[in-house]
Amino acid sequence: MTTGDLKFFHVLVMITHRLWRVAILISLICILMYVFYSGIAACVLLLVSLSLSLYYAEDQLVYHPTLPTHSRVFVPRPSGYNLPFESVRCPSKDGTVLHMFFIRQPINGDTTPTLVFFHGNAGNMGHRLQNTAGLYHNLCVNILMVEYRGYGLSDGSPSESGLCMDARTAVDYLLTRTDIDVNHIIIFGRSLGGAVAIDLVSRQEYANKIWCMIVENTFTSIPEMAKHLLGWRILNVVPHLFYKNKFMSIKKVRHIGVPSLFICGQADGFVPPIMGESLYAYCNATHKKLARVAGGGHNDTWTCRGYHDILKTFLQETPPRNKLPITTSIHHV
């Protein structure tokens, strides 16, 4: 059995496990079609059913809000890391209530930048608190941690349009605060959060409200990730129409003009670093940087030596909002 066969079997088992009622119904209908009509009709029905099942099961493959167990009922609080915080509940544009943590610098919090943190596809924002504490202390920024719909204590179910809507809601919330510098909002996203960040900043009405963007170990698109992870040759000819979640960052990044930093952990075994490099290459920002971090894995690049120095240097060199950016460079760590 080839690697591709093993991946196909693994995905099929996962879908069957999560959608077992649907799988049983499809099997029964196919058997009846075979008995009363023909084997060809049963095969056609099976292929159509599998395609639809894959389409609707894609959310189960992309989003993992229940990993680890209890992630939907228990969210670690910033106080566990001695971080001063507010627990915020804010309705998204469609009424879905989101849960967020706002962590503010005790001194000069109204004049320091504020970083909006979009996390990856598993767990909840509380699982990123050690990482957040490092950003808080090393960059001296306020931090708004965003809990997507269907994650942690937020209401609803995750979807591409929903997560992107939640990102816009987070920025809208910040703009209502009078205790921060709204001219220095940093958008930060890791992995899936990077795709959410790129969607947000690519929108002109929000780009005008953003100082800069930082994305880390993020991908070009879901279709490209599917090809990479599954290795099925048939995916090379599958139209994007058949993907429920697309997150076409490689197209959206061409519309980004705000200063941008792309961080690529060179030991990332999940998202190939070349994807981040492609996003950097296609980004339309004049002031953009690419940081290749040696030894950085998908979830631990932030623990590598020199990581916070990369971010600090980028922020120090980023011109004020509405000023013409002047530099482009590549960092190696």
Extents of the domains making up the chain? 3-62, 78-332
For residue 74, count other CB atoms closer than 10 A to its CB: 13
Q: Would you state the pLDDT for residue 295?
A: 97
Which two tokens mark 202? 């690519």
Please name the residue that has the structure tokens 């920002």: 285
Please state the pTM of the whole predicted model: 0.84
Examine the pLDDT at 148 and tell me if it is beyond 90.
yes
Catalytic residues: 191, 268, 298
The radius of gyration of the chain's CA atoms, rounded to the nearest angstrom, is 21
Cα–Cα distance, 186 to 61 (Å, whole number): 29
And the tokens for 333?
């760590």
Q: Please provide the DSSP assignment of 28-83 as one string.
A: HHHHHHHHHT-HHHHHHHHHHHHHHHHHHHHHHHH-BTT-STTTTT----GGGGT-
Q: What is the predicted pLDDT for the residue at 327?
A: 39
Encode pLDDT of 248-290 as tens digits.
999 999 999 999 999 999 999 999 999 999 999 999 999 999 9
> Residue 54's pLDDT band (boundaries 50, 70, 90)?
low
Place 242 in a pLDDT band, splitting at 50, 70 and 90: confident
Q: Which of 30-44, 81-95, 178-192 has the lowest mean pLDDT?
A: 30-44
CATH superfamily of 78-332: Alpha/Beta hydrolase fold, catalytic domain (3.40.50.1820)
* DSSP letter for each residue of 81-122: GT--EEEEEEE-TTSPEEEEEEE--SSSTTTS-EEEEE--SB
Please tell me whether residue 143 adopts helix, strand or coil conformation.
strand
Q: Check whether the bond before 272 is cis (ω within 30° of 0).
A: no
Please compute the mean of the pLDDT values over residues 40-49 and round it to a whole number. 54
Q: How confident is the model at residue 243 (pLDDT cuts 50, 70, 90)?
A: confident
Q: Which H/E stretch holds residue 3?
A: helix 3-18
Summary mean pLDDT of the chain: 86
Q: pLDDT (tens digit, 9 = 90+) per residue, 81-137?
A: 999 999 999 999 999 999 999 999 999 999 999 999 999 999 999 999 999 999 999
pLDDT band of 41, cuts 50, 70, 90: low
Checking if the pLDDT of 200 tops 70, the result is yes
Instruction: Return the sign of the alpha-carbon dihedral for residues 38, 41, 44, 46.
Output: negative
What value does the mean pLDDT take over residues 210-238? Answer: 87
**Beta-strand pair 85-91/97-103:** antiparallel
